[in-house]
A and B are shown apart, each in its own frame.
Chain A
Amino acid sequence: MELNFDTVIRNLPLFWQATLITVKITVLAFVFALIIAFTVGVLRSYKIPGLFKVLLAVYVEIFRGTPLLIQLFFIYYGLPSVGIIMDAFSAAVIGLALNGGAYMSESVRASILSVSKGQEEAAYSLGYNKLEAIWHIILPQAIRVAIPPLMNGFSSMLKETSLVSVISITELTRTGNLIYSRTARPFEIYLTLGLFYFVLTFSIVLLAKQIERKERRWIL
């Protein structure tokens, strides 16, 4: 077999465009997922009214217990039946954010549990109220524990954006598929696609290392 990257090179502008869309969806979804994860993770770590607690648990278990693909289909094709209509891009971001938020909230919860009870008690005994103790004492210590799994979630999310190609968003994967259907050069195209994804996830790994190094200034 003879390799021929001409097709790829000719279509590079399309790849770039698609990369931008993939990055945009990932970053937006990750930011929303973080907000969800911290809100849900903190609430589930503390005493809250029973019904509320059950609702949050149901959210987390449903989104962790069903395939992301089904969640995306449901949001994009299913919800319009009950009058909730949105464009594909919003559906993709919301789907990824809800899914990632559910997983990441468990990391946040575990990281909060990892901070010793004594820290909270010391804060209370100094006169901090509950919110002040969470904000100033517990979360800053929990975040350091949570950073590796959260950054892991970031890179998973990037790879999962591949799935949103099924709701007709022309991100990297769909772009690859489209070019393939026109040119029949699967080997070169999917190799290039993989390379693009790898460079992106590797950038996240480097970013994670950078953040972890900064957090290592204090020890226990």
Chain B
Amino acid sequence: MDTLSHLIEIKDIYKSFGDLSVLRGVSLNVSAGEILGIIGASGSGKSTLIRCINGLEATQRGEILIKGQRLNSSREAVNVRKKIGMVFQNFNLFPHYTVLQNITGPCRVVRKLSKKSAEELGESLLEKVRLKDKMAQYPGNLSGGEKQRVAIARVLAMEPEIILFDEPTSALDPELAYEVFDIIKLLAEDGMAMMIVTHQIGFIKNLAHLILFIDNGKIACSGNPDYILNECNHPHLQDFLMRLRENI
């Protein structure tokens, strides 16, 4: 595959916080329409990896290319970020905006859409995540599942080429998690490229083209879901999967 067809190219990145080295030589590529699952124990560096990709953290070594563009200075980061959507574990909706304004606000500020077209887009996206009846509410009045669906609609409004999910359902009760999974499945059907950090193996194994197991700041094992779940015999992966199964 030639480099131009990669949406994201990560070449041997390192990241540490003070003495704590969190990413220790991570390389990966993501192409259009590709879905990557990322699994790994808590503290292994999954969030840090995701946050480096959209420039919320700066790397110390290595290179990150978004559609061939380097993510270096903060000025470039602002532009590059517009192509990357991010869904957070704790939603980070804007509490002072209504549900609709959470979508129209960024559309007007970042995409410079008119009020009217921002609202049309907002309403159609809320329809897509089945929350149009809540559009006048403030996020503080929504359930966790509803909040995350609004957050996804908000990201979609920016027309990203890839969406990064950092444990999108970890803050949700299991029965609410399915509302969010259903929306993510819809996105997969639309061909959206995604990187999804999750502990929900059952969900990701049916969706991801590739699963990466992060261990100690490195990709310890990667392959299709079947390989990761049944064949890869990295001892830490086996332990990790066993612990997940016990918890479920």
Contact = CB atoms under 8 A, between A and B. Distances in A.
Given A127-B78, A127-B81, A127-B158, A132 B109 contact: yes
Contact of A119 (B54, B92, B106): B92
Interface in B90-115: 90, 92-96, 105-106, 109-111
A140 interface: yes
Contact of B90 (A118, A124, A137, A217): A118
Nearest to B82: A127
A129 B96 contact: no
B95, B105, B111, B141 pick with most chain A CB within 10 angstroms: B95
A117 to B, nearest CB: 9
A122 B94 contact: yes
A121 interface: yes
Given A121-B56, A125-B56, A141 B86 contact: no
Nearest to A217: B138
Contact of B96 (A116, A122, A127, A140): A140
Interface residues of A, number: 22
Given A121-B88, A127-B110, A219 B95 contact: yes
Size band of the interface chain B makes with A: 20 to 34
Contacts of B95: 141, 218-220
B82 A218 contact: no
Nearest to B137: A218
B140 interface: yes
B138 A218 contact: yes
Nearest to A129: B78
Interface string B141-167: 100000000000011001000000000
29 contacts: A116-B92, A118-B88, A118-B92, A121-B56, A122-B86, A122-B93, A122-B94, A123-B106, A124-B78, A124-B81, A125-B54, A125-B56, A125-B84, A126-B106, A126-B154, A127-B78, A127-B106, A128-B110, A132-B109, A136-B105, A137-B94, A141-B95, A144-B96, A218-B95, A218-B96, A218-B138, A218-B139, A218-B140, A219-B138
Given A128-B106, A218-B139, 19 more contacts: A116-B92, A118-B88, A119-B94, A121-B56, A121-B92, A122-B88, A122-B93, A125-B54, A125-B85, A126-B155, A127-B81, A127-B106, A127-B110, A127-B111, A127-B158, A136-B105, A141-B94, A218-B140, A219-B140
